[in-house]
Structure 1
Amino acid sequence: MKKFLSMIALFAMLLPAVWSQDNHIDTIRADAPALADYGPYTIGVTTLTFVHPGQPDIVNYKPGQPMPTYDRPLTCEIWYPATLVPGQAPSGEYLNVVTRDPSLKVTLYGRAVRNAAPDKSAAPYPLVLISHGYPGNRFLLSHLGENLASKGYVVVSIDHTDSTYSDQGTFPSTLYNRSPDQFFVLDSMARLNADDRGTGLAGMIDADKTTLIGYSMGAYGVVNSLGGGLSANIVKNATFSPGNILEARAAGNPAYTASLDQRVKAGVAIAPWGMNYGFWDAEGLKGIKTPIFFMAGSKDTVAGYSPGSHTIFDLAINADRYFLTFENGSHNSAAPMPAPKEVRAKGSLGAKVASHYLDAVWDNVRMNNIAQHFITAFLAKYIKGDPNADSWLALIENGADGKWSVDEKGQPKPDHTYWKGFGNNQAVGLKLEHRLPGAR
């Protein structure tokens, strides 16, 4: 019995260390595609809160009364290329991260060093903004924030007020605010490039080359921010649009069209929510003219697939667009970080909470790595202008249909058609479509 109790005590002592290994957001699997791995830059991270004055206070709106206003806070995690002092390890912790169970806070582990000195050797760096789903928070896609910063981007992940695990407010606040939040943070980062508020980020940020990345409701915001104006039927729906608030984001409204920001040069929409509820129609989606990369699981029961996210891809006929399908994947395909160990350890409640992160078919890290690979290639082409980037995107449509044919040195033979960057049989279950503007 003493031996058994000693083993239990030892296990209890080791458990935090076990969890720390499980809660890494920076894992690159051995079978990850070629562009998934971290880039050449070490990474810094800092946290800032921007306040957007005079915004509609939808949570406290009373029907028949004027829309109240308030100063809207937006807390952001900012990753950037950094320089470390000699002997400083390229690693760090994210403390007290709120999970899908708001009562449970965890520590995440990655490669970013808190408040490290910015690396200005190749500045300014293109800007990337990340928007989470409903609910979510700025850490849900933190794996992507770190990864892109290591490749020469300044990346900002937004806590969307009224839409986080801690403060879920009325849903119309999320519907209205996603796009204005994105544009305000873009403006704030442009100002930070001139006046860095003590962060040292002055001169680091090229806001004229901005990419918007969103997941679920964040992707809904990306579609709207890129020109996908909302449908008239949704604007008139008092449940979704109290006080007609969504008119400001509607197709055909000159004020909406004027709000679109030409500094946004690319978008990534992962499982965009809304098409399955009629938030867009064919005419509204014609307004998207910015290159956009969609990702989704074919069995998404939250945002839908077809009808759903793939329908947005079909109807965005004026955009250069891609669609990556995770066959049999759910709404959680590609975007969410792996479920923290503490979440998975909470029994039946943990299973319910963990389902916010997990997919029944695909491994989270595997999906994260695939997303990192394709987003790296997409931004290299459309943001950095890399003339070789298209070779990673010009692929046979169905990954399983590619032919693996290499010589004894591993070099492709003329009849080799397998997806570039993927090992033999490792593109199975994936489909990549590409349509140029005007193509249906």
Structure 2
Amino acid sequence: MNRLVMAATAALVAAPAGAENRIDIVRPDAPELAAYGDHAIGVTTMSFTREQVPDIARATEEGVEDYDREITVEVWYPAAEGTEAGGSYTALLRDGTTEVDLTGRAARDAEPAAEGDFPLVVVSHGYPGNRFLMSHLAENIASKGYVVASIDHPDSTYDDMGAFGSTLVNRPHDQAFVLDRMAALEDGIGAITDGDTAAVIGYSMGGYGALIFSGAGLTEDFRGSRYAPPRDLLEINAPGSDSMADLPDARVKAVVAIGPWGRNRDAWNAEGLSAIDTPLMLIAGGVDDVSGYDAIRSIFEETTGTERHLLTFEDANHNAAAPMPAPAESYEVSEALGWAPFEHYADPVWDTTRMNNVTQHFVTAFLDLHLKGEDAKADYLDLVPDSADAVWDRAEDGTPNAGDSYWAGFPNRTAVGLRFETLPSGN
């Protein structure tokens, strides 16, 4: 649907009055691991500063100055026993001006759990985006015993969208920096954070950054393309550079890249992608026309240095899996944009909450397996690739019969429209 049609349609639809914009909905037909975990959830806002880095967004062929890059991070974490669930967030819509309230289960600035050693997960949004875009996923996995740090990337948020070159250069380094700062915390949340056991989840340009952070250096052609900033500033992400050699981090045990952008513009080749040796899960819409579904499949095929998975939502586009449900206020045409921000969050075919629940299920299994060593979670990732080929054959008590091959954790008939493929390292 083009923007003119979307805008005209949205103008006829009034936003629901007093809508809560809930980010914590788990549908009754959700797969098993989408359910919230046993931990109460706290949330707090932190700020970190990358000092004296090149100001890419304002660089010219004549020169570039250094600046202090202020990074805001929203942190979700297991909270103290007895913490009352429920809270709200104030976030900006895609237009960068409209404030909306989101309602979830995390308690603002709650006391952290009295004890624990919870793995760290870094979350990285798209271009543009913000730290709340995947708040539904952050809350959900925090309730299962993770500390989740979601980044506002400067020059890439709804109200601070600058030159694209800044995103190309800074994404993996922002991610690495936030991991370092969160892992170095000692008191409060730091006392319960296992900074030596981490994962990175990135959407679109966040996925681009996560792949570079994992070791996939950019091709020479891309570093010299029209996308690159001036003065060879993208060389920081070149294969063989000292800066690239420093990026892969043994603390990162798993990477989730949702709709990662870049392979559609030859940002990597097979040689560069083969350098990734961290377990990888790719999630994509089957008709993604922003990052290119065929390009995402190429990433899947070319990351031969690790075991990897590809979860596909058939007929979904670039908004598959990652964005929160569209806030009620996004249904109305924005004066700043000239179109309804709804299309930034929603998919024309799939229900967003449904996609969120499926993603929560698979991300939980993947993280629990690789960050917590819960080997039984591998069963949720060992599936008949095309759900249409999976057979439901259960006894009355739900016990699988010999002919059963339905996807683990999915109620009967609910895996329709999904594919889940796995390739081993070396293949």
Normalised to the residue count of structure 1, the TM-score between the two structures is 0.91
Q: Deviation at 1:237?
A: 2.6
Show structure 2 runs of 5+ residues with no match.
1-13
What is aligned with 1:7?
Answer: none
RMSD: 1.6
- Do the aligned partners of 2:316 and 2:349 also contact (CA within 8 Å) in 1? yes
- Tell me the distance in 2 between the aligned counterparts of 1:168 and 1:345: 22
| Pair 1:93 & 2:88 matched | yes
Q: Give unpaired runs (5+ residues) of structure 1.
A: 1-11
Counterpart contact for 1:131–1:158, Cα < 8 Å: yes
Which piece of structure 1 moves more, 173-182 or 342-351? 342-351
Partner of 2:385: 397
1:341 is matched with which residue: 325, 328, 344? 328
Identity, % of aligned positions: 47
Q: TM-score, normalised by structure 2?
A: 0.94
Report the CA distance between 1:168 and its aligned residue: 0.2
Counterpart check, 1:112 vs 2:106: yes
**Residue from 61, 66, 69 that aligns with 2:66:** 69
Q: Which amino acid aligns with 1:118?
A: P
Structure 2 SS opposite 1:137: coil
TM-superposed CA distance for 1:286, in Å, is 1.1
Render the CA deviation track for 1:360-397: whole Å, top value 9, x for unaligned: 11000000000000000001111111121111110100
Question: What does the per-residue CA deviation read over 1:290-327, in whole Å, with 9 as the maximum and x for residues that have no partner?
Answer: 00100000100000011x11111111111110000000
Q: Alignment partner of 1:59: what SS? A: helix
- Taking the aligned partners of 2:136 and 2:183, their CA distance within structure 1 comes to 24
Q: Which residue of 1 aligns with 2:234?
A: 246
Write the letter of the residue equivalent to 2:114.
K
Paired positions, count: 412
CA–CA separation in structure 2 for the residues paired with 1:408 and 1:255: 58
Counterpart of 2:221 in structure 1 is 233
Counterpart of 1:43 (choices 41, 44, 61) is 41
Asked if 1:434 corresponds to 2:427, the answer is: no
Change (3 A) 1:416 1:300: same
Runs of 4+ more than 6 Å apart: 347-350
Q: Deviation string for 1:194-218 (max 9, x for gaps)?
A: 2x4xxx2131111111100000000
Pick aligned residue for 1:311 from 298, 302, 316: 298
Contact in 1 for aligned 2:164/2:227 (Cα 8 Å)? no
CA-CA distance at 1:350 after TM superposition: 8.2
SS class of match (1:391): helix
Counterparts of 1:177-196 in structure 2, within 5 Å, are 177-192=170-185, 194=186, 196=187
Instruction: Name the CA distance, whole Å, in 2 between partners of 1:143 and 1:275.
Output: 27
**Residues 1:140 and 2:128 are matched in the alignment:** no
1:242 is paired with a residue whose SS is coil
Kindly state the Cα deviation for residue 344 of structure 1 after the two structures are TM-superposed.
Answer: 1.1
Q: How does 1:120-131 map to 2 (within 5 A)?
A: 120-121=114-115, 123-131=116-124
Distance 1:244 1:300 in 2: 30
Q: Which residue of 2 aligns with 1:3?
A: none
Paired AA for residue 17 in structure 2? L
Please tell me the residue identity of whatever aligns with 1:425: R
Q: Which one has more relative contact order, counting CA pairs under 8 Å at least 6 apart?
A: 2
Say if 1:84 and 1:116, in contact at 8 Å, map to a contact too: no
Amino acid at match of 1:59: A
In the alignment, the residues of structure 2 paired with residue 101 and residue 255 of structure 1 have an alpha-carbon distance, to the nearest angstrom, of 35
Query: In the alignment, residue 118 of structure 2 is paired with which amino acid?
Result: Y
What's the counterpart of residue 374 of structure 2?
386
Partner amino acid for 2:305? N
